[in-house]
């Protein structure tokens, strides 16, 4: 079991990422996508990542989509935060990817969460946790223990309106500009009061979503 003081602060994470151009910080983890020339190349990269994970006894969440491999490193024994084990593993995987002729495309890694506006999170969170088979996260949110489904967060709203559910779409700040421009071009209402942490988007029927970045997120240490 790792100690809490193993958790890297946001300044430490940002400093480490300066030497890890293939990777981005995302909600307690380091994420990226590698594109290989062929599907067989992706399988070879997955095998290489598996060997590195076994050698380090530190295993990522990994998803294979034809010739792209989606990877996320996080230290689950400290409530899903980033430690030096994650930055070291990320560096090793980048070397393996380069050797396989893979191209890093970290901007493709999106994370989608469900936000629920409520005046009483304790009164409803257990229903959602049990129905989804999730566990409680460090900040009162709900997370899929297998990293497959979207997270669920409960946002304090003393007087929620009729539209209590919204979707949070997380991208890295470095790649968020194009998404914001394309979304604005659809004619949606864009509220940038809390940018760059999030921009609240409202469609023509009043449905909301938030385009979020890593700004304002990270261990408070």
Secondary structure of 101-127 as H, E, C letters? CCEECHHHCCEEEEEEEECCHHHCHHH
What whole-number distance in Å separates Cα of residue 170 and Cα of residue 150? 11
pLDDT of residue 221: 47
Task: Return the residue matching tokens 């689950």.
Answer: 76
**What is residue 78's predicted lDDT score, i.e. its pLDDT?**
87
Counting DSSP H helices and E strands in the chain, the numbers are 5, 13
Taken in order of first residue, the domains within the chain and their CATH numbers are: 4-108 (3.30.1360.20), 111-212 (3.10.180.10)
pTM above 0.85, yes or no: yes
**Mean per-residue pLDDT pooled into runs of 10, the chain (221 residues):** 76 96 96 98 98 96 97 91 96 97 96 94 96 91 92 87 89 93 97 95 94 84 47
Pairing assessment for the beta strands 165-170 and 208-212 based on DSSP bridges: parallel
Residue whose C-alpha is closest to residue 25's, from 221, 215, 214? 214
């Amino acid at each position: 079991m790792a100690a809490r003081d193993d958790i890297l602060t946001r300044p430490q994470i940002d400093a480490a990422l300066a030497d890890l151009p293939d990777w981005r910080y995302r909600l307690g983890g380091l994420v990226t996508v590698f594109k290989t020339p062929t599907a067989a190349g992706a399988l070879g990269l997955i095998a290489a990542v598996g060997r590195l994970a076994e050698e380090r006894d530190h295993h990522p969440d990994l998803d294979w989509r034809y010739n792209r491999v989606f990877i996320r490193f996080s230290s689950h024994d400290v409530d899903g935060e980033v430690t030096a084990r994650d930055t070291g593993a990320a560096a090793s995987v980048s070397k393996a990817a380069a050797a396989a002729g893979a191209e890093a495309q970290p901007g493709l890694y999106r994370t989608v969460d469900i936000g629920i506006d409520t005046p009483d999170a304790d009164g409803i969170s257990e229903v959602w946790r049990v129905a989804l088979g999730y566990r409680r996260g460090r900040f009162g949110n709900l997370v899929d223990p297998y990293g497959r489904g979207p997270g669920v967060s409960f946002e304090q709203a003393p007087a929620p309106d009729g539209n209590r559910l919204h979707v949070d779409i997380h991208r890295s700040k470095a790649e968020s500009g194009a998404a914001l421009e394309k979304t604005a071009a659809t004619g949606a209402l864009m509220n940038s009061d809390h940018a760059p942490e999030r921009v609240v988007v409202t469609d023509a029927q009043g449905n909301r979503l938030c385009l979020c970045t890593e700004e304002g997120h990270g261990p408070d240490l």
